[in-house]
Amino acid sequence: MSSSSLDEFAKFLVNKKLLSSEATVATLVSSEPTGEPVLRKIWEATDLSANGFADEVAHFYGMRRLSLPELVAAKALTDRFSARFLRETSIFPFRAEDGGLKLAAADPSDRAAARAAEIVLGGPVEVEVASFEDIAIILGERIGADEAASPDERRPSASADDDIESLRDLASGAPVVRAVNDLLERAVELRASDIHIEPFRNGLTVRMRVDGLLRTVPAPADALPQALLSRIKILAGLNIAERRLPQDGAARQRIARSDIDIRVATMPTQYGESAVLRLLPQDRGLLDVARLGLSAADEKILMRLLELPHGLLVVTGPTGSGKTTSLATMLSLLNQPSRKILTIEDPVEYELPGVNQSQVKAGIGLTFATAMRAFVRQDPDVIMVGEVRDSETANIAVHAALTGHLVLTTLHTESAAAAIPRLLDLGVEGFLLKSTLRAVIAQRLVRVLCERCKKKRILTQEALEADPRLSALGLRCDDAIYEPVGCERCGGFGYRGRNGIFEILELKGEAYELVGPHADAHSIDRAARRAGMTTMVEDAVAKCRSGVTSTAEVLRVTTIR
């Protein structure tokens, strides 16, 4: 976009009070020479949705506005272009019903992209406006369909020699490199946290975890599974000749103009090697306690706990429940020049300036326990250990808390109360636990209902009788809840993003007295609830009533007790 055109459009938004100030615009314009998508930056500087922003673009340029259903119904011409070009320029070429050539563009002033499309298509194109999100969705569908259209023509010969050098050559070839890059770009478009690449008898299956749930996506059709896995292993610095043992590695890639850290874990299976790629964007936004989803009462408790000079704070929950994000947020609140903070993690997912972060390297003996022993000699104020997995780590953490340090860590337990008997099982003495443990925070992640399409529903007696679990959640007749519908913004799933549900058990009063050799999680839980603890289910139901999530999500991730 030219500077003058950009400036005029920015002033248009400022006049409509959709953009904060022209000073912001000047900052955005200054980033143009670096190749950053300036129009997307302007969108991100507003509070508009993707479709709302596209409406303003269409109005400013006087062009027709295309919806996602219209793009889906159009006859795509994407097979004539490279996937990367279409995604980087955010354009979707198609043929109109009258036979004319059209181009859906998120940035209609990008004449270079329009001219390139005219050259490829061999004639003039009419430019119309669509949102960044709609174009990303339709390109994901159409490009995947193009790749799957003629697999026999695109797939390299399966009879190729499978020795290591041949495999390395295949993995370095343009089709395989392009296939891996397109896979990573698709994952970023979908906001996926993980990519699962799994070989089965009938071929390769690729799934991506979006908002906590896996979705199947088209597998690359122009690359052998072995070559695809070899390319990923090369990127992660793994041994491509070793296929009998699991391997772990890491890579950093620039995808869609963003730097992404990738953790790669491979595993031999019956039909070949599978791989899981964890995607960790470096620009993960500010770690703000308000984004965690804590209720006002629980947030007040957490802020009070973080003011303690020493003690043990434990965050519990299964894998993928947001424990690492919660710990990183707590550390960001504690991160002040007057405090020395040390962490040992596996892996380091959030980079926190001013915090001394270390990563577990079991191969050379750097474990959670050995790092903790070294930490206490580094004069720290705050220590974070990624997970208490064994008796040695548990006891070192407790003794560090006893000697004047604030220690943050995680455990894998079902509830907050269950963390206490778990620590006792790991060999921590009851009297030491009573002296050091300040609180346990249990959490889960629920999907957030799409603001654009969620639907309000008033519960009837018939609905409660049809599903007794709703009554078990504490819902009553005439209560208002919200349900997913599905629209173009959320990709038809009805949810977009995730939020936490929490319970915070403070070790005090009756719960404190119950800590001992025969501590029982149920007794501690009941005591904490009598003392006013809000359980995860109660927190989740409150979020149902406020329209944050649905009852189906609550029932999926919680256990009614």
DSSP string spanning 435-453?
HHEEEEEEEEEEEEEPTTT
Looking at per-residue pLDDT, the higher value among 271 and 482 belongs to 482
246 DSSP assignment: -
513 closest CA partner among 496, 534, 536, 530: 530
Pick the CATH number of 289-446+497-534 from 1.10.1200.10, 3.30.420.110, 3.40.50.300, 3.40.1260.10: 3.40.50.300
Write down the pLDDT at residue 302. 95
Q: How many helices (H) and strands (E) does the chain have?
A: 24, 19
258 has pLDDT over 80: no
Residue 25 binned pLDDT confidence (cut-offs 50, 70, 90): low
Write down the pLDDT at residue 27. 54
Looking at per-residue pLDDT, the higher value among 335 and 284 belongs to 335
CATH class of 2-145: alpha beta
Give the separation between CA 278 and CA 264, rounded to whole angstroms.
Answer: 7
Residue 502 binned pLDDT confidence (cut-offs 50, 70, 90): very high
Task: Write down the domain spans for the chain.
Answer: 2-145, 167-281, 289-446+497-534
Q: Which residues contact 393 (CB under 8 A, 6 or more apart)?
A: 367, 368, 369, 372, 385
Write down the pLDDT at residue 139. 82
Give the separation between CA 123 and CA 539, rounded to whole angstroms.
Answer: 59
Encoded tokens for 83: 């996937």
Give the separation between CA 334 and CA 322, rounded to whole angstroms.
Answer: 19
How many degrees, rounded to 5, is the angle at CA 526 between CA 520 and CA 532? 135
Looking at per-residue pLDDT, the higher value among 32 and 294 belongs to 294
The predicted-structure confidence for 503-518, as pLDDT tens digits, reads as follows: 999 999 999 999 988 8
Write down the pLDDT at residue 347. 80
**pTM of the complete model beyond 0.75:** no
Encoded tokens for 227: 């070559």
Residue 166 binned pLDDT confidence (cut-offs 50, 70, 90): low
Torsion angle, CA of 301/302/308/314, rounded to 10 degrees?
Answer: 120
Write down the pLDDT at residue 21. 64
Number of residues written out for the chain: 561
**How high is the mean pLDDT of the chain?**
85
The predicted-structure confidence for 339-368, as pLDDT tens digits, reads as follows: 999 999 988 888 888 999 998 888 788 999
279 has pLDDT over 80: yes
Looking at per-residue pLDDT, the higher value among 3 and 210 belongs to 210
Q: For 219-257, where are the E strands, in sequence order? A: 247-255
Q: Which residues contact 141 (CB under 8 A, 6 or more apart)?
A: 72
272 has pLDDT over 90: no
Instruction: Give the residue-averaged pLDDT of 428-451.
Output: 94
Instruction: Give the residue-averaged pLDDT of 184-197.
Output: 91
How many other β-carbons are positioned within 10 Å of the β-carbon of residue 468? 9
Write down the pLDDT at residue 284. 56
- CA separation (Å) from 41 to 90, 128, 217, 466? 14, 20, 28, 48
161 has pLDDT over 50: no
Q: 299-311 burial, b if ≥16 CB within 10 A, otherwise e?
A: bebbeebbeeebb
The predicted-structure confidence for 374-415, as pLDDT tens digits, reads as follows: 998 999 999 999 999 899 999 999 999 999 999 999 999 999
175 has pLDDT over 60: yes
Write down the pLDDT at residue 361. 86
Write down the pLDDT at residue 342. 96
Judge contact between 275 and 262, C-beta under 8 A: no
Instruction: Give the residue-averaged pLDDT of 263-278.
Output: 92
195 closest CA partner among 243, 264, 140: 264
Write down the pLDDT at residue 29. 52
Residue 440 binned pLDDT confidence (cut-offs 50, 70, 90): very high
Which amino acid type is present at position 234? I
Q: What's phi and psi for 21, nearest 5 deg?
A: -160, 165
Write down the pLDDT at residue 156. 40
Which architecture characterizes domain 167-281 according to CATH? 2-Layer Sandwich (3.30)
323 has pLDDT over 70: yes
Instruction: Give the residue-averaged pLDDT of 369-375.
Output: 92
Distance between start and end Cα atoms, the chain:
57
Write down the pLDDT at residue 189. 86
Q: Would strands 91-95 and 75-76 be described as parallel, antiparallel, or unpaired?
A: antiparallel
Give the separation between CA 464 and CA 131, rounded to whole angstroms.
Answer: 41
Q: What's phi and psi for 356, nearest 5 deg?
A: -80, 105
Give the position of tokens 């043929």: 95
Encoded tokens for 388: 């208490």
At residue 340, the 3 state secondary structure works out as coil
Give the separation between CA 499 and CA 557, rounded to whole angstroms.
Answer: 12
How many other β-carbons are positioned within 10 Å of the β-carbon of residue 138? 24
What does the longest C-alpha to C-alpha distance in the chain come to?
81
Judge contact between 540 and 550, C-beta under 8 A: no
